[in-house]
Amino acid sequence: MKARILKKKFLTNDLEILWLQLSEKFEFKPGQYCTVGYKGVERAYSIVSSPLEKSIELFVEIVPASLKREESLTPKLCSLDIGTEVNVRPKPKGLFTLDPHFKKQVMVATVTGIAPFMSMIRSYLKGYYPQKIEEPLYVFQGASYCDEFGYDEELREIAKSTGKILYVNTVSRPQDPRNKIWLGDVGRVNLILDTYFKKLNITPRDTVVYLCGHEAMIDDLGNKKESPGEPLGKLVRKGFEIRSEIYF
């Protein structure tokens, strides 16, 4: 189906939030992704918006120059003007969706890995899920720099005004000049979880942990296949139910 770029917002030189206005109705589940195409090049992007919103919101990272290829869509997409027409495949895909049968919901992300969780959270706040879920939903996000958190203000406001989520974000390079105003947690998100899980009494019982983002974070916490040099993930060893989606 056809879509046009409705709005754009750059966070950094390589991170952008953009909104697409589709020409037809597009039904999806929170956590799923859509496939966007432009001039024969396609790529899948997790959807930030709730199915109850009118436009499709995406949070994308532009690949560094060393990894850029002719078939890399994100640099092209981010350079397009507002109003430019792109294509979107009519069917969403993905099984990385919220399982409301678990009482406790824990979401762990790195940078753009927050995208599917935003869709889940927005949908939850609007009554999308009929099942009762224990509150708060726990959301942990890590980044190298504090300007890479695309939705920290929204998440903090939700936490403050509703109490329905608990949001913790952390930077892994606290000494970098880009983080000079940072006053929050420091360290990689996978390394601070143990402290918070103990503090908040998050145990494997009735808990599902979703991991989305960088492969190294997911391997450290949720690797399910032990092999020489690759131990089981820390949360797997503790017995947590793990759902994961890697962003390359």
DSSP three-state, residue 197: helix
Partnered with residue 60 across adjacent β-strands are 16
Please name the helix (run of DSSP H) or strand (run of DSSP E) that holds residue 19, with its range, or none: strand 15-22
Beta-carbon neighbour count of residue 163 at 10 Å?
A: 10
Return d(Cα 62, Cα 44) in angstroms, integer.
Answer: 13
- 167 contacts 152 by C-beta, under 8 angstroms: yes
Q: What is the mean pLDDT of residues 196-208?
A: 97
Tokens at 51, concatenated: 């199915």
Condensed to tens digits (0 to 9), the pLDDT of residues 156-191 reads 999 999 999 999 999 999 999 999 999 999 999 999
- pTM: predicted TM-score of the whole model, two decimal places: 0.96
Tokens at 125, concatenated: 């706040």
Q: Supply the pLDDT for residue 162.
A: 97
**Angle between the N-to-C axes of helices 115-125 and 152-162, in degrees from 0 to 180, rounded to the nearest 10:** 30
Q: Supply the pLDDT for residue 179.
A: 98
Condensed to tens digits (0 to 9), the pLDDT of residues 55-113 reads 999 999 987 655 556 678 999 999 999 999 999 999 999 999 999 999 999 999 999 99
